[in-house]
Amino acid sequence: MRILIAEDELLERKAMIKFIEANFNDMKVVGEAPNGRRAIELAQTVKPDIIFMDIKMPGLNGLEAIEKIRQVNSAVKFILVSAYDSFAYAKQAMQFGIKEYILKPGKKEEIVRAILRVQKEILFKQKKDEETLKSNELVKEHLLTKLMKNPVDEGAKSIQRQFFPVCKNGYFLVVQMERDIPLENFYSILEKHLTTPFIMQHHDDQYTICVFTPGKVNKAEILHAARGVQLELGNDSFVGAGNPSATIDDLPKSYQEAFTACYELEKEGSRHYGFLNKKENSIHRDKSMSRLIEIIERGNDQDAVHLYKEDLRYFGTRDVDELYLRIKDMMMERGLAVPERSLSELTTEKDWEKFITACCLRMQDYYQSKQYIEKAKTFMQQHFQRSLTLEETALHVGLSPNYFSNLFKQEFGTTFIDYLTKIRLQRAKELLEENRFSLKEISSMVGYNDPNYFSRVFKKHFSESPKHFRQTILKK
């Protein structure tokens, strides 16, 4: 704690200084004033936490000095010291919120108790201020996150009005930098080049800054700020700038522009700051569409909807038409029906979200079916030698026989028995070509207990008997 002694008696000042230094290790006397005017001057320069103020001093008295000091620094705490037991002084001091009053000559115990009470009050306020500051910073970070996503909800607007009431406009900057820099240093650079309030978020090697402005700001001003920040950060930094937003609702668009501009600047390597140009915007749109199709193809509905909402602003009418057709083609290639929604019915963002979700769910069913079928194929390849049934295979993959039968036929265009027969006969041909086993042995090895029935099935599929097939092979 920093203490200032305001006392016109030199010996009294020195005695108090000695007493404080002897009894308090965490207290430091940073100044001493022989009168009220000097106390006011020192209060501004040495920034004390506590002031011992004598009431009766030449020139400005202690109470007059307190009034002027509090106009500049309302946080400083006072302990009044007086040789006069005057109720009038004490009553006037209470108007300034001063609770500690020591009569000369003060007893040591009384002085210690007064100092400890004031110290406790200061520490309590500091802790509360720190908690409030931390809470406010968390709320601002929450606001920043909300302003990065469409749509901006009423909660975000309420926070904006609370912390930035006069700022109706704004823009985003996104900074990418390879090397680490202390956050306080980065913040100082931003304060130097941004003349209006801002909030910042740091994640890995990327810094996202939302700048609030009381009125409209032009692109030249934004570019000037981005240039100043980038030059000071150095050549390993890239600063992407978003276009100015006329309303809070437009800020997510500015963020997306700044983010994409930063990404393209880093990839390009020739520029280190600036806006997203039209060509880059077109490239980003194409990449976004391809990425969205890819995510839908994987059946990831949450990521697909999120990406669509993030990049919707880049899609014009023709882009939306193309997106619909590409989704339709992708699904038809897999034999899947597009959800029963025509393009003309997709008029709102919610319509598109439902459509994309429905497409993703169908893709999930498609992949799930593929997994069942692959599992069934493996099981059939491993067990075709014995009497294998559809019911047993359906039980193995965890499906009902009816559903499995329909799913199997949809995938292969044939029945379970026909597919099983195909596997068995293909293996029979391989064994016949090897010419190591008798026809009876081969019949048993491919799942037929009756050799005659095996011969009839073989002849039906290949238009010749197993015996004739082997003879033909041997003649070659």
What's the rounded Cα separation, in Å, for the pair 334 and 297? 10
What's the rounded Cα separation, in Å, for the pair 122 and 126? 6
- Kindly report the backbone phi and psi dihedral angles of residue 222, in degrees, each rounded to the nearest multiple of 5, phi listed first: -65, -45
Q: Which two tokens stand for residue 13?
A: 């000042």
Domain end marker among 126, 157, 183: 126
258-267, pLDDT tens digit by residue? 988 888 888 7
Do 85 and 176 belong together in one domain?
no
What's the rounded Cα separation, in Å, for the pair 467 and 461? 14
pLDDT at 87 exceeding the cut of 60: no
pLDDT at 342: 78
pLDDT at 312: 63
pLDDT at 310: 73
Among 192, 189, 199, which residue's Cα sits nearest to residue 137? 199
CB atoms within 10 A of CB 30: 16
Q: Are 172 and 260 in contact (CB under 8 A)?
A: no
- Domain assignment present for residue 363? The answer is no
pLDDT at 93 exceeding the cut of 70: no
According to the per-residue pLDDT averaged within each range, which of 134-148, 150-164, 232-246 is highest? 232-246
pLDDT at 278: 63
Of the two residues 434 and 334, the one the predictor is more confident about is 434
Per-position b or e across 318-337, b if 16+ CB within 10 A of its CB: ebeeebbeebbebbeeeeee
195-252, pLDDT tens digit by residue? 999 999 988 889 999 999 998 889 999 999 999 999 999 989 999 999 999 888 889 8
- Domain assignment present for residue 416? The answer is yes
- Domain assignment present for residue 76? The answer is yes
Do 201 and 91 belong together in one domain?
no
User: What's the CATH number where 158 sits?
Assistant: 3.30.70.2730
Report the pLDDT averaged over residues 33-58: 90
Alpha helix ranges (H) inside 148-238: 154-163, 183-193, 219-233
- Domain assignment present for residue 313? The answer is no
394-423, pLDDT tens digit by residue? 888 887 888 888 888 888 888 999 999 999
Using alpha carbons, list the distances in angstroms from residue 225 to 93, 182, 270: 49, 20, 19
pLDDT at 282: 63
Q: Which two tokens stand for residue 26?
A: 């965490």
Place of tokens 């990049």: 311
Domain end marker among 95, 126, 157: 126
Do 463 and 407 belong together in one domain?
yes
List 239's β-bridge partners, or say none: 175, 273
Do 159 and 79 belong together in one domain?
no
The percent of residues in the chain predicted with pLDDT above 90, rounded, is 28
Do 15 and 56 belong together in one domain?
yes
pLDDT at 174 exceeding the cut of 90: yes
**Strand ranges in 143-275 using DSSP code E only, listed in sequence order:** 169-177, 198-203, 206-213, 237-241, 273-275
Maximum separation of any 2 CA atoms in the chain, in Å: 135
Show Cβ contacts of residue 310 under 8 Å, excluding neighbours closer than 6 positions: 149, 150, 256
CB atoms within 10 A of CB 227: 16
Do 179 and 92 belong together in one domain?
no
H or E stretch covering 258: helix 251-268
pLDDT at 95: 66
pLDDT at 90: 60
CB atoms within 10 A of CB 76: 18
Average pLDDT score over the chain: 86
pLDDT at 91: 61
User: What's the CATH number where 10 sits?
Assistant: 3.40.50.2300
Do 394 and 429 belong together in one domain?
yes
Q: What share of the chain is helix, strand, coil (3-state, %, to 5)?
A: 60, 10, 25
Using alpha carbons, list the distances in angstroms from residue 176 to 70, 212, 232, 234: 45, 21, 13, 11
DSSP 96: T
pLDDT at 4: 93
| Count of alpha carbons within 13 angstroms of residue 31, beta-carbon side | 21
**Which pairs from 18-23 meet CB under 8 Å and 24+ separation?**
19/108, 19/111, 20/115, 23/108, 23/112
Work out whether strand 273-275 and strand 237-241 pair parallel, antiparallel, or are unpaired.
Answer: parallel
Do 114 and 183 belong together in one domain?
no
Q: Domains in the chain: how many in total?
A: 3
Q: First CA to last CA across the chain, in angstroms?
A: 106
- Kindly report the backbone phi and psi dihedral angles of residue 431, in degrees, each rounded to the nearest multiple of 5, phi listed first: -70, -35
178: left (phi over 0), alpha (psi -120 to 50) or beta: alpha
What's the rounded Cα separation, in Å, for the pair 283 and 261? 11
What's the rounded Cα separation, in Å, for the pair 226 and 238? 9
Give the residue numbers spanning the domain of 442. 369-475
- Domain assignment present for residue 300? The answer is no
- Domain assignment present for residue 308? The answer is no
pLDDT at 85: 58
Domain end marker among 276, 297, 322: 276
Tally the residues of the chain.
Answer: 476
Of the two residues 40 and 472, the one the predictor is more confident about is 40
Per-position b or e across 179-192, b if 16+ CB within 10 A of its CB: eeeeeeebbebbee
Lowest mean pLDDT of 173-177, 228-232, 250-254, 363-367, name the range: 363-367
User: What's the CATH number where 398 sits?
Assistant: 1.10.10.60
Q: Are 126 and 174 in contact (CB under 8 A)?
A: no
pLDDT at 41: 92
Report the pLDDT averaged over residues 376-383: 90
Among 309, 372, 302, 317, which residue's Cα sits nearest to residue 347? 317
Do 58 and 152 belong together in one domain?
no
Among 252, 228, 223, 253, which residue's Cα sits nearest to residue 240? 223
pLDDT at 145: 87
- Domain assignment present for residue 134? The answer is no
What's the rounded Cα separation, in Å, for the pair 193 and 238? 16
Do 8 and 85 belong together in one domain?
yes
Do 165 and 246 belong together in one domain?
yes
Do 107 and 183 belong together in one domain?
no
Place of tokens 């069913």: 365
- Domain assignment present for residue 257? The answer is yes
pLDDT at 313 exceeding the cut of 60: no
